[in-house]
């Protein structure tokens, strides 16, 4: 499933053609994705100007002039592509052919910017929902989300407070969207490796008895910032389904230190250990037992 860097990459790709433009035509080409579309889904979108395009955790959020917000989630296989009349892909260098997998083109927005924005989702685990902005605080999909890991409020002190009494593993705590929003399996594995912390470590060890951050917490927050920013610059990670809006693949997977590298030599300078894999909370965990403690 796309994680924060992939969703942020998509947001940046859509922003130039969506933000400030009017939705001239909105089409829902089937009655549902993961969930049924609202009966007034198209009516609340068509003719509306997108005043801003943001991201919250793994959600895209398009602010509309009406006071509504279009909430969009990519699911496991969802992707957006931008098509212009001259077939020039924008932004990006590589064109994603208009007809590819067209049977799975489930939603279309025709924008006054001159672009068609198509949402393609073969597995239909993605979803879209229109919500009144003044109701966002009560929206079940959003109300329990923790802080943004790249936001100003997220620091070692905040992470230490969130983990102070947790007996769960450090990896499980980081995957808890109530602790920090937007992190997934790939980037948690990568951040733990870069901070040299074991995924099996008890989460409470990030905090002193007084609730102050330990050196572990400081290293981990720094690693989270670094790995997310590096991944965004690389356009995210393309393992199976992720594409940028231009059709271009992300390439951060070429920079993985441990993820999907079972049996290979650890890339930590001077370590010489071997990357291992084990199942943790139903997910594959990749780590180096020699340098992650």
Of 100, 133, 233, 283, the catalytic one is 283
Distance, in Å, from the CA atom of 11 to the CA atom of 151, rounded to the nearest integer, reads: 16
Per-residue CA distances from 202 to 147, 156, 169, 170 (Å): 21, 16, 5, 5
Of 55, 58, 194, 261, the catalytic one is 58
Residue 104 annotated as lining a ligand binding site: yes
Active site residue 257: no
Active site residue 190: no
Active site residue 3: yes
Whether residue 48 contacts residue 64, with contact meaning beta carbons closer than 8 Å, is answered with: yes
Angle at alpha carbon of residue 158, lines to 174 and 293, rounded to 5°: 50
Whether residue 213 contacts residue 203, with contact meaning beta carbons closer than 8 Å, is answered with: no
Residue 123 annotated as lining a ligand binding site: yes
Active site residue 262: no
Tokens, residue 5? 């860097």
Q: 48-54: which pairs have CB atoms within 8 A and are 24 or more residues apart?
A: 48/22, 48/23, 49/20, 49/21, 49/22, 49/23, 50/18, 50/19, 50/20, 50/21, 50/22, 50/23, 50/111, 51/19, 51/20, 52/19, 53/11, 53/14, 53/15, 53/18, 53/19, 54/11
Residue 98 annotated as lining a ligand binding site: no
Distance, in Å, from the CA atom of 223 to the CA atom of 229, rounded to the nearest integer, reads: 10
Q: Which residues have a catalytic role annotated?
A: 2-3, 58, 283
Binding residues are 104, 123, 166
Binding residues for DNA are 104, 123, 166
């Amino acid at each position: 499933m796309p994680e924060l860097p992939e969703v942020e990459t998509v947001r940046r790709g859509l922003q130039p053609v969506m933000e400030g433009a009017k939705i001239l035509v909105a089409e829902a080409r089937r009655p549902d994705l993961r969930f049924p579309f609202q009966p007034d889904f198209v009516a609340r979108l068509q003719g509306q100007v997108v005043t801003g395009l943001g991201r919250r955790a793994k959600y895209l959020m398009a602010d509309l002039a009406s006071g509504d917000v279009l909430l969009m989630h990519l699911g496991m296989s969802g992707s957006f592509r931008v098509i212009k009349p001259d077939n020039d892909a924008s932004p990006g260098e590589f064109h994603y052919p208009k007809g590819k997998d067209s049977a799975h083109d489930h939603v279309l927005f025709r924008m006054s910017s001159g672009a068609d924005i198509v949402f393609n989702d073969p597995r239909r685990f993605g979803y879209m929902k229109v919500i009144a902005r003044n109701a966002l605080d009560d929206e079940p999909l959003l109300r329990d989300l923790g802080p943004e890991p790249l936001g100003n409020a997220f620091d070692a002190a905040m992470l230490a407070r969130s983990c102070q009494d947790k007996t769960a593993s450090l990896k499980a705590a980081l995957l808890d969207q109530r602790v920090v929003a937007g992190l997934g399996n790939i980037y948690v594995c990568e951040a733990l490796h870069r901070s040299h912390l074991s995924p099996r470590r008890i989460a409470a060890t990030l905090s002193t008895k007084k609730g102050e951050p330990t050196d572990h917490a400081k290293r981990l927050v720094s690693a989270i910032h670094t790995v997310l920013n590096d991944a965004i610059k690389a356009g995210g990670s393309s393992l199976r389904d992720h594409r940028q809006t231009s059709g271009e693949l992300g390439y951060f997977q070429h920079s993985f230190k441990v993820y999907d590298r079972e049996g290979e030599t650890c890339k930590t300078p001077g370590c010489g250990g071997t990357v291992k894999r084990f199942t943790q909370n139903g997910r594959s965990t990749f780590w180096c037992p020699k340098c992650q403690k």
